[in-house]
Structure 1
Amino acid sequence: MQSLFPYHDTTSAPQDAVAALTDAERQFGMLPNLMRKMASAPALLKGYLALGELFEQTSFSPAEQQVVLLSVSRENRCDYCMGAHSVLADMADVPKQVTDALRAGQPLPDPRLEALRRFTTAVVEARGWVDEAEVAAFQEAGYDAQQVLEVVLGVGMKTLSNYTNHIAGTELDAAFQHRAWRASETDD
């Protein structure tokens, strides 16, 4: 099925995807394989990049954003996004102890980040049907109603990439290989 979804660049991508690929390469300093695969559907690529920009504008710190994105990716068992976002978490100065716990599905050493991890995981597991106790526990950790819904934005954004990677068989870029992760090696 991978042959259905080639690794596009600006010379092979559908014309509607070229500007988004050019912007992504400028933003990331490389053209990640995820975007190269997404280019087969220009609207998907543009939507993912737009949601990513919006998620960066939330009230969450860069470290909290990575907690959300890694929590979603782990729950969805996305090897590509776990590897890539582990590197992005390193770049966002997320302590390695936190990232390693996220990768292992273990409680985080910081209680507030742990509440964020638990709530994000609950949203994914329950497909949004989280009970009031989950919302209350999240708020007791210091998060507010806005942040409840900002988690939903992060879940939506990351689900687009997780599912794309599952279907298209995206290979982890060389730049992220040192933080590779395999769901099959972490089965609970």
Structure 2
Amino acid sequence: MSQPKNGFQVHHIEDAPEESRETLQAINQAYGFLPNLMGIVSESPAALKAYVTLNRLFKEESAFSQTEAELVLLIISAHNGCGYCVAAHSAGGERAGVDAATLEDVRQQRELSDPKLQALAAFTRKLIDARGWVEHKDVDAFLQTGYSHRHLLDLLTALAMKTISNYTNHIAETPLDEALSAKAWKEAS
């Protein structure tokens, strides 16, 4: 396995900061392995707990369906150019029952055949590019496709979570886990 960059370390449960160990044990139990990203983020117990909490809240309490939630995380990660998270959320999308064609379209940032999902993808990308300063017409268009203000705020929760993971992966060049290697991603040009 390659090593992370910029002096980062992929911690294991036994060598992680004490305050991160319980969270890492729960992650290991849930996934059956400890993802390299979590090993790196565990250096900061606050960042690890923030990521895990936001992830749980987004997946369990957002207004998005399970399919939409997985696609949101994949859309954000692909738009941010995060290969590690694209692989992880491609696997998550498969587990959620997203069809292979839709997953590949999101991975390659192509237009989606489902108009509502396309509106979600387009608005998410605009929100990232505008750093939140989207125009009223963009918000109105998003709301007119059947999404609500709650969805918009839930989308911000996902963006906060993915900022932690996408940026960590960019800075540390997190090595892809063997369990995710089949979902490795070559960024769309």
Unmatched 5+ stretches in structure 1: none
Query: Percent of pairs identical after alignment?
Result: 39
Pick aligned residue for 1:147 from 151, 159, 177: 151
Q: Name which of 41, 47, 50 aligns with 1:47.
A: 50
| Mapped partners of 1:67, 1:123: distance in 2 | 15
Write the letter of the residue equivalent to 1:150: D
TM-score, scaled relative to structure 1: 0.95
Q: Displacement, 1:3?
A: 5.8
1:26 aligns with 2:29: yes
Structure 2: state its 5+ residue gaps: none
Name the residue aligned to 1:87. 91
In structure 1, give the amino acid aligned to 2:156. Answer: V
Q: Does 1:135 align with 2:139?
A: yes
Which residue does 1:5 correspond to in 2? 8
TM-fit CA distance, 1:40:
1.0
CA contact (8 A) 2:75 2:124 kept: yes
Q: Give TM-score scaled by structure 2 length.
A: 0.95
Whether the 8 Å CA contact 1:73–1:82 is kept in 2: the answer is yes
Distance 2:40 2:121 in 1: 28
Distance in 2 between residues matched to 1:27 and 1:127, nearest whole Å: 33
Two-structure CA RMSD over aligned residues (Å): 1.1
1:119 maps to: 123
For residue 2 of structure 1, give the secondary structure of its aligned residue in structure 2.
Answer: coil
Q: Could you list the per-position Cα deviations for residues 81-116 of structure 1 after superposition, in whole angstroms to 9, with x for gaps in the alignment?
A: 011110110011011111000011101111111111
| 1:97 matches 2:101 | yes
**Aligned counterparts of 1:133 and 1:27: Cα–Cα separation in 2:** 41
Residues 78 and 109 in structure 2, CA contact (< 8 A), matched pair in contact too: yes
Runs of 4 or more, structure 1, over 3 Å off, are: none
Deviation per CA, 1:135-155: give whole Å up to 9, x if none: 111111100111111111111
In structure 2, C-alpha distance between the alignment counterparts of 1:132 and 1:30, rounded to whole Å: 44
| 2:41 corresponds to 1:38 | yes
Equivalenced residue count is 185
Question: Counterparts of 1:91 and 1:22 in 2: how far apart (Å)?
Answer: 22
Shift of residue 5, structure 1, vs aligned partner: 1.2
CA deviation map 1:41-70 (0-9, x unaligned): 111111100000110120111110111111
